[in-house]
Structure formats: structure tokens, C-alpha cells
Chains A and B, each alone.
Chain A
Amino acid sequence: DQQVKQNSPSLSVQEGRISILNCDYTNSMFDYFLWYKKYPAEGPTFLISISSIKDKNEDGRFTVFLNKSAKHLSLHIVPSQPGDSAVYFCAASAVIIQGAQKLVFGQGTRLTINP
């Protein structure tokens, strides 16, 4: 039962262009969404998050869009840089049991930025 899905296992983008990573979810109880970036042999690094009361959140080159009716979110990176090459994970949570934030992760999308 995959509640959070990233249907593209990989994505290749030219340096300077926009990278768009997509994520779909099935559980309507999810109310908080995050994107993490992961390099090999390291832990995930937090990038950006969005609450279900918003439809957009921006932080520098990173913007996350949330479409609740479609249960879809996307991460836009512009302009893309070689250092952005990594695996990107989408994660979602619903506040349960004393506010525990159990994160449910997608399978990840490997982003490669070509010079």
C-alpha cells in the first residue's frame, strides 16, 4: 500500500533549466508535506515543506506546489545547478497520537543535472 508515490524514478535536466519533480498521495488525512534531498551514503537533508492550508511555498530556487483536490504536489527548482544532482524524496504526514509526525516517504526520484 504505497500512500506516497513518485512515479518517475529518474529525471535528467540541462543546467540552468527548470527541474520539476512530482509526487502523488492517496491518504486525504495527510496535512503536511516535505521534500528531502539525499546524496549517496548520507542522510536525507530537508529542503522545503508545505502545510495543507497553503498551495505554494517558496524558498530561493525551490518552490513547492500543493494541489489538494488532485492529491498532488510538485517541487520546482530553477535554475537547476549541477550540485542539485541527487535523489529527491517526497514525504507526507498526518498528526496522530500526541501529535506524532510519522513521515511516509515516496520511492524517490534521481535528478541528474547535465552541464
Chain B
Amino acid sequence: NAGVMQNPRHLVRRRGQEARLRCSPMKGHSHVYWYRQLPEEGLKFMVYLQKENIIDESGMPKERFSAEFPKEGPSILRIQQVVRGDSAAYFCASSPFSGTDTQYFGPGTRLTVL
């Protein structure tokens, strides 16, 4: 039973380019969460999605960032016109239900903006 999968594991972009991060939740999980970890800090919530719906995007910057979880395929976190401050580890988590269900995390994507 495969865990949460994220790709790519490492992504290097130049300032102004676009970054696309993918997340496939665990089998049977319909809830996806994205978190960002800056160096020497804890993880910060960005967005919570169910299939075809954004439920809570209160942690996502208003500009340049977007997320989707289509009916078919992985969840995508998209960062347009990246800046150096976007360099971080981006983690995806999934759970079968919401509420008090445990979230299981993927290995993360490390984004480096040159």
C-alpha cells in the first residue's frame, strides 16, 4: 500500500519561472493538505482540498500561488513567477476523512529558486 507520493523530490527554478508540485494521496484518501516549511521553522498550513473543491486556502499567499485537486490525477500546487523567498520544502499530506483523522505526509518537494 503506497504512501503519499510527491514529485519531483527536488526542483530548481530561476526567478520568474513557474513551479508545479504534484501530490498523489494514499489510496482511499480523498482529503489533501499542503504545508510549507522554511529553513529552521515548523510546517505552515497552506491549503486543504477535496476532489474538485478547495475547502480552506487561508494559508496560501493571495498572489502567484494556486492549488487544485482534479477528479482524476494528482493534486497540483502551482507557483507562478517564483521568487527567492519561495525556496522551501513543500509537503503534502492526506487523510481518508477530515476531523480528527491523522494526516499522513509525503516525502516533500524541495524547491530552490536561483
- A interface residues (Cβ-Cβ under 8 A, vs B): 4, 6, 32, 34, 36, 41-46, 49, 51, 89, 91, 93, 95-108
Q: A46-B103, A98-B55, A101-B33 are in contact. List 19 more A-B contacts (CB 8 A).
A: A6-B42, A32-B100, A43-B6, A45-B105, A49-B100, A89-B42, A89-B43, A97-B56, A98-B98, A101-B95, A101-B101, A102-B33, A102-B45, A102-B48, A103-B33, A103-B35, A104-B45, A107-B41, A107-B42
A-B contact pairs, 27 of them (CB 8 A): A4-B42, A41-B107, A41-B110, A42-B108, A43-B4, A43-B91, A43-B106, A43-B108, A44-B105, A45-B105, A49-B102, A51-B100, A89-B43, A93-B100, A97-B55, A97-B56, A99-B97, A101-B95, A101-B98, A102-B33, A103-B43, A105-B35, A105-B42, A105-B43, A107-B41, A107-B42, A108-B42
B57 to A: closest C-beta gap in Å: 11
B10 to A: closest C-beta gap in Å: 10
| Complex: chain B residue closest to A102, CB-CB | B45
Set B100, B107, B108: member contacting A101, Cβ < 8 A: B100
Contacts of A104 in B (CB 8 A): 45
B40 to A: closest C-beta gap in Å: 8
A73 to B: closest C-beta gap in Å: 15
Set A6, A44, A46, A91: member contacting B91, Cβ < 8 A: A44
What is the interface size of chain B, counting residues whose CB is below 8 A from a CB of the partner? 31
Contacts of B106 in A (CB 8 A): 43
Residues of chain B in range 56-114 having any CB-CB distance to chain A below 8 Å:
56, 58-59, 91, 93, 95, 97-108, 110
Contact present for A99 and B99 (CB under 8 Å): yes
Contact present for A46 and B102 (CB under 8 Å): yes
Known contacts A97-B55, A100-B48, A103-B33; is-contact A43 B42 (Cβ 8 Å): no
Q: Could you tell me the distance between the alpha carbons of A100 and B108 in the complex, rounded to whole angstroms? A: 21
Set A44, A89, A102: member contacting B56, Cβ < 8 A: A102
Contacts of A96 in B (CB 8 A): 56
